[in-house]
A and B are shown apart, each in its own frame.
Chain A
């Protein structure tokens, strides 16, 4: 059943991207530029393994959520309270996360440990990944919090005049970012059943790319992530066969990045960047 296996593979490759890009969605929709998705995923993946191996899968997932949320809160603190440029803060977050992950894993991972990382069923994550964009879309359309989040991301100054507090709204948004990236990181480890250095391999940036191509809207972003998953699954499926021999694997891998660049150049419809992105 090659069709079914391609579909499952699409979901497996797409789900971490979806979860991470939804983390990017809540952050950037509230006006906080977030290039730290990669770092948050990485620390979450690391903690899933480091805590999960001695204490079990639930503790591993909890550690992932807590660590990613802490890092996300640090991003909130630095950008909103210290008024640091969002891009610089994101770079700092990524460095702290990469360093901390390599440090913690180097220090606590038991080199003699046999078998994989204990984990919950990946289907839990897959279902969450499909439901999350729908839920977020409904949230912005039908819930007070969602409306306020979009308003603050569109124009923080005017929102303040309407009695909203952008700082608090962005805290909630970044808290959600922490949870989503935490899930994404935990899923990576659960899927592979093993933690390796640099397990995220730039997926945080691809998630950001999907968000850009999806025009900062949850459902199109979901579609972009699934499309990327499908491309990846085709590549895996036909690896080593003649079908793909003409196109180098590196070209396949570059495709999402190239599409993002073209989207940012405005060749794929209008630029939908939230107007208040990066404003205090």
Chain B
């Protein structure tokens, strides 16, 4: 316990020092952070918008995590998902259009995760390294798409043209400045379904068994390799969905620098979520608040880096509490 306390104190001390260097009082900074993210109708809309991709991508990471896999590849899966969704959405229109586009995103994400899942399950290559590599390949691959076949010739910067308004996900509530898109419902539904699936179905039970003790799972008649492959691919599919929804609900196009690090943040979301998939909801909201509030802080003269440092410490702290490896007693 004292060790956790030490880590916590250390983290807070570093943050306080950073605040002092920025000559912003910590109390003032926290106030700016809260007001900037929840203080007005516009701020709330922004926070929800920041939360959505982290929520869906967080569900993706969480699913893989329960099978004992670190899907660090969510970033890449999200990018190819967004690219595929944009490509399909540009060729279609109407509600059939966004269904098809979402399906394309899901498929592309799953496909991008497949090699990592296969190599982990059947060739014992660590999924962390393969997914990191696949992320980089995804950045270059989508970069090439944006520079060549998908590029909007009217624009200087690498971006696609915007998709048709009819292909976009509708707003649930639209009284500017407070606008809430259906996308957040997609995320909440995904988290709820995953929670129910893990707790109430045989397949969910088997996936959790593989994550907790693959050898015992094998003796219980579960194929750990197949389960890992499926978990990784499904995780990629959800990450692809996150990318697709981001295009269809908010961005309306795909461009270079599309993801400001959603993949990484969603890993933090999943780690903070704890033992229930529904924990992804508050965790992603917290990250959303930090992201939106961080922008407000930046305007006050505190560089945005500080919120990233907070995230890093949050991840270390959450892991120190929850993901400690049990030292086996012989």
Contact = CB atoms under 8 A, between A and B. Distances in A.
A261 B21 contact: no
Given A251-B144, A265-B119, A95 B264 contact: yes
A41 to B, nearest CB: 15
A103 B305 contact: yes
- Which of the listed residues A92, A93, A266, A273 has the most CB atoms from chain B within 10 Å of its own CB? A92
A82 to B, nearest CB: 4
Nearest to B70: A87
Contact of A78 (B128, B136, B268, B316): B316
B212 to A, nearest CB: 14
Interface string A84-121: 11011101111111111111101100000000000000
Interface stretch (A139-147, A176-184, A205-213, A238-246): A205-213
Interface residues of B, number: 52
Given A91-B267, A103-B303, A33 B128 contact: yes
Given A99-B309, A250-B140, A205 B70 contact: no
Contact of A271 (B124, B320, B323): B124
Given A102-B305, A257-B136, A271 B319 contact: no
A87 B132 CA distance: 12
B70 A81 contact: no
A96 B137 contact: no
B315 interface: yes
B134 interface: yes
Contacts of B130: 260-261, 264
Given A88-B70, A95-B312, A261-B130, 18 more contacts: A35-B129, A78-B320, A82-B4, A88-B316, A92-B313, A92-B316, A96-B308, A96-B316, A99-B305, A99-B307, A101-B305, A205-B133, A208-B129, A248-B144, A251-B144, A254-B141, A257-B134, A260-B129
Interface centre among A35, A82, A97, A273 (most CB of B within 10 A): A82
A254 B311 contact: no
Nearest to A90: B128
B126 interface: yes
A54 interface: no
A83 interface: yes
A138 interface: no
A135 interface: no
A253 interface: yes
A120 B271 CA distance: 42
Given A87-B70, A254-B137, A35 B305 contact: no
29 contacts: A33-B128, A78-B316, A82-B319, A84-B323, A85-B319, A85-B323, A88-B316, A91-B72, A92-B312, A95-B264, A95-B309, A95-B311, A95-B312, A96-B313, A97-B312, A98-B312, A99-B305, A102-B304, A103-B303, A104-B305, A107-B22, A248-B144, A250-B143, A253-B140, A257-B133, A260-B133, A261-B119, A264-B129, A280-B325
Interface in B1-28: 3-4, 7, 18, 21-22
Contacts of A92: 312-313, 315-316, 319
B34 interface: no
Contact of B308 (A35, A95, A257): A95
Contacts of A94: 264, 312
Interface in A180-203: 202
B175 interface: no
B267 to A, nearest CB: 6
A280 to B, nearest CB: 6
A98 B124 CA distance: 31
B312 A82 contact: no
Given A84-B320, A107-B22, A266-B123, A250 B141 contact: yes
B136 A89 contact: no
